[in-house]
């Protein structure tokens, strides 16, 4: 599997970032709703700590991914109407903004409430803002609404990918799938076409 | 009458020794606090209600004594969830054990010459020895007494069941008191 992206598919590194982060983000979101309903207990405390650690991992992965993206090539874009290309870029941009702001908003809420922030029980991270009981409830809502917004953008992202795969029958999704490979060679050289 | 005379003599000799440790009560501005560690971060708490009878003379430690009673339900740490949980049955169980009690059994001096109070702390129905470092400074109209020490919360069963987990709540708890003493 290629380390760097090729015209017909994303690199192993890019795919790994994409799918690991997808799993962590969606998983941590579902996890958050489950843990919020737990009765006050040590288990609940530890589950919240785990949720925070996963969120911080996503934040760290995002910056590594951004660095990689700046260094890596990108597959050629499949042909599509201009508005669709613009829409795809807007959705990707929003996803990037949300991937950063979701953990950050959680971290800011955590700081305002005065909770400690410990990464997988290994080390502590500082508060981003001073403790402020007047705004911590609001900040928790911001954190939650950002998740709902992310879900909305994800519907567009996944919907677009499925539309390409099922209706356009092109390589947009396939080239990001873990073991996927483009059906067509891009660019096709005239001599090779049967 | 020899025995009576002797005991009177012994009493007369003992009296000035006992009296030479001055008796104090707790004045305003006194604090009794503790510091624990939760998820790797220190938190500080204090007890809103406590009382102490202090007899102390730096020159006569043998006659000195601390007797401290603490209302454990009055612990405040600046976090609503924690303050709600502390008096509950998982921690202090204040309904069953409303008071903690500390009584000194004697005073010693450590290698540095600092005074150490040795005593028994009864907390959560369990009695264990706890040593406190003592700093005593006479002040206008009384004295200022500072004590510091550490104890292990699990020695006293504070934090039962899953709350025994010391990877989230540290076992070691720092105890500190600053008392403004007034003559009794």
Among A77-81, A150-154, B25-29, B120-124, the least confident range: A77-81
Provide the shortest C-alpha distance from residue A42 to chain B (in Å).
6
Nearest-angstrom CA–CA distance, A164 and A85: 12
Residue among B40, B78, B163 whose CB faces A42 most closely:
B163
Q: Report whether the peptide linkage leading into residue A187 is cis, meaning its omega lies within 30 degrees of zero.
A: yes
How high is the pLDDT of residue A172? 86
Does A116 contact B79 at a Cβ distance shorter than 8 Å? Answer: no
Among A79-83, A165-169, B17-21, the least confident range: B17-21
Mean pLDDT of A41-50: 94
**Beta-bridge partner residues of B120:** B103, B129
Q: Give A-chain residues touching B40 at CB under 8 angstroms.
A: 116, 118, 121, 123-124
Using pLDDT thresholds of 50, 70 and 90, give the confidence band for residue A159.
Answer: very high
Residue B167 · residue A121 · CB < 8 Å = yes
Mean pLDDT of B14-23: 62
Q: Which residue of A has its CA nearest to B41?
A: A116
pLDDT of A43 over the 80 cut: yes
- Residue from A36, A38, A41, A42 to probe the interface with B (highest B Cβ count within 10 Å): A42
CB-CB neighbours of A117 under 10 Å: 21
Among A23-37, B17-31, B147-161, the least confident range: B17-31
Q: Give B-chain residues touching A124 at CB under 8 angstroms.
A: 39-41
Nearest-angstrom CA–CA distance, A92 and B51: 64
Among A161, A145, A34, which residue's Cα sits nearest to residue A92?
A161
Q: Which has the higher per-residue pLDDT, B17 or B121? A: B121
Does A43 contact B85 at a Cβ distance shorter than 8 Å? Answer: no
**Phi, psi at residue B72, to the nearest 5°?**
-65, -20
- DSSP-derived pairing of the beta strands B115-123 and A118-119: unpaired
Angle between helix A136-162 and A82-113 (nearest 10) = 150
Provide the shortest C-alpha distance from residue A178 to chain B (in Å).
37
pLDDT of B19 over the 80 cut: no
Q: A57-76, pLDDT tens digit by residue?
A: 999 999 999 999 888 888 87
Q: Give A-chain residues touching B36 at CB under 8 angstroms.
A: none
How high is the pLDDT of residue A191? 39
Report chain A residues touching chain B, CB-CB < 8 A.
40-43, 45-46, 49, 114-118, 121, 123-124
Q: Which has the higher per-residue pLDDT, B16 or B37? A: B37
**Phi, psi at residue A13, to the nearest 5°?**
-65, -45
pTM of the model: 0.82
Nearest-angstrom CA–CA distance, A31 and A107: 17
Q: Which two tokens stand for residue A95?
A: 């996803």
Does B85 contact A40 at a Cβ distance shorter than 8 Å? Answer: yes
- How many Cβ pairs within 8 Å bridge chains A and B? 34
Nearest-angstrom CA–CA distance, B82 and B80: 6
Mean pLDDT of A147-154: 96
**Beta-bridge partner residues of B14:** none
Does A124 contact B78 at a Cβ distance shorter than 8 Å? Answer: no
- Burial class from Cβ neighbours inside 10 Å (0-12, 13-18, 19+) for residue A97 reads middle
Does B39 contact A43 at a Cβ distance shorter than 8 Å? Answer: no
How high is the pLDDT of residue A182? 64
Mean pLDDT of chain A: 89
Nearest-angstrom CA–CA distance, A58 and A173: 22
Provide the shortest C-alpha distance from residue A115 to chain B (in Å).
9
How high is the pLDDT of residue B7? 58
pLDDT of B26 over the 50 cut: yes
Q: Give A-chain residues touching B38 at CB under 8 angstroms.
A: 116
How high is the pLDDT of residue A19? 95
Q: B73-132, pLDDT tens digit by residue?
A: 999 999 988 999 999 999 999 999 999 999 999 999 999 999 999 999 999 999 999 999
Nearest-angstrom CA–CA distance, A4 and A1: 9
CB-CB neighbours of A172 under 10 Å: 20
How high is the pLDDT of residue A73? 83
How high is the pLDDT of residue B1? 46
How high is the pLDDT of residue B38? 96
* One-letter-per-residue 3-state SS of chain B: CHHHHHHHHHHHHHHHHHHCCEEEEECCCCEEEEEEEECCEEEEEEECCEEEEEEECCCCHHHCEEEEEEEHHHEECCCHHHHHHCCCCCCCCCCCCCEEEEEEEEEEECCCCCEEEEEEEEECCEEEEEEEEEEEEEECCEEEEEEEEEEEHHHHCCCCHHHHCCCCECCEEEEEEEEEEEEC
H/E segment holding residue A118 = strand A118-119
Report chain B residues touching chain A, CB-CB < 8 A.
38-41, 78-79, 81, 85, 161-163, 165, 167-168
Does B168 contact A42 at a Cβ distance shorter than 8 Å? Answer: yes
Q: Give B-chain residues touching A134 at CB under 8 angstroms.
A: none
Residue among B40, B162, B163 whose CB faces A118 most closely:
B40
Residue among A41, A43, A116 whose CB faces B38 most closely:
A116
How high is the pLDDT of residue A193? 38
Q: B122-180, pLDDT tens digit by residue?
A: 999 999 999 999 999 998 889 999 999 999 999 999 999 999 999 999 999 999 999 99
How high is the pLDDT of residue B121? 98
pLDDT of A40 over the 70 cut: yes
Nearest-angstrom CA–CA distance, A171 and A192: 19
């Amino acid at each position: 599997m290629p380390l760097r992206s090729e015209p017909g598919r994303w690199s192993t590194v890019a795919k790994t970032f994409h799918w690991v982060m997808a799993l962590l983000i969606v998983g941590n979101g579902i996890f958050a709703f489950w843990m919020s309903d737990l009765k006050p207990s040590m288990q609940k405390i530890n589950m919240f700590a785990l949720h925070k650690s996963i969120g911080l991992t996503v934040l760290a992965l995002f910056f590594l991914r951004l660095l990689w993206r700046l260094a890596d090539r990108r597959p050629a874009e499949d042909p599509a109407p201009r508005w669709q290309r613009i829409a795809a870029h807007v959705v990707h941009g929003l996803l990037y903004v949300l991937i950063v702001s979701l953990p950050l908003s959680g971290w800011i809420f955590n700081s305002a409430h005065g909770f400690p922030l410990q990464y997988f029980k290994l080390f502590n991270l500082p508060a981003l803002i001073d403790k402020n009981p007047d705004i911590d409830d609001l900040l928790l809502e911001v954190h939650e609404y950002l998740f709902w917004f992310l879900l909305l953008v994800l519907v567009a992202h996944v919907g677009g990918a499925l539309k390409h795969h099922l209706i356009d029958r092109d390589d947009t999704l396939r080239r990001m799938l873990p073991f996927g490979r483009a059906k067509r060679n891009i660019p096709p050289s005239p001599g090779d076409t049967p | 009458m020899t025995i009576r005379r002797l005991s009177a003599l012994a009493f007369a000799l003992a009296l000035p020794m006992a009296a030479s440790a001055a008796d104090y009560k707790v004045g305003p501005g006194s604090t009794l606090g503790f510091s624990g560690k939760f998820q790797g971060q220190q938190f500080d708490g204090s007890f809103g209600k406590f009382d102490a009878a202090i007899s102390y003379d730096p020159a006569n430690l043998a006659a000195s004594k601390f007797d401290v009673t603490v209302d454990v339900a009055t612990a405040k740490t600046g976090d609503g969830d924690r303050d709600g949980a502390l008096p509950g049955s998982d921690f202090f169980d204040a309904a069953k054990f409303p008071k903690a009690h500390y009584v000194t059994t004697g005073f010693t001096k450590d290698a540095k010459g600092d005074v150490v109070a040795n005593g028994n702390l009864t907390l959560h129905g369990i009695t264990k020895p706890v040593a406190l470092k003592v700093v005593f400074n006479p002040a206008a109209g009384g004295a200022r007494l500072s004590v510091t020490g550490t104890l292990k919360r699990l020695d006293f069963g504070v934090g039962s069941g899953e709350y025994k987990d010391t990877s989230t709540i540290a076992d070691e708890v720092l105890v500190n008191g600053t008392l403004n003493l007034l003559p009794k």
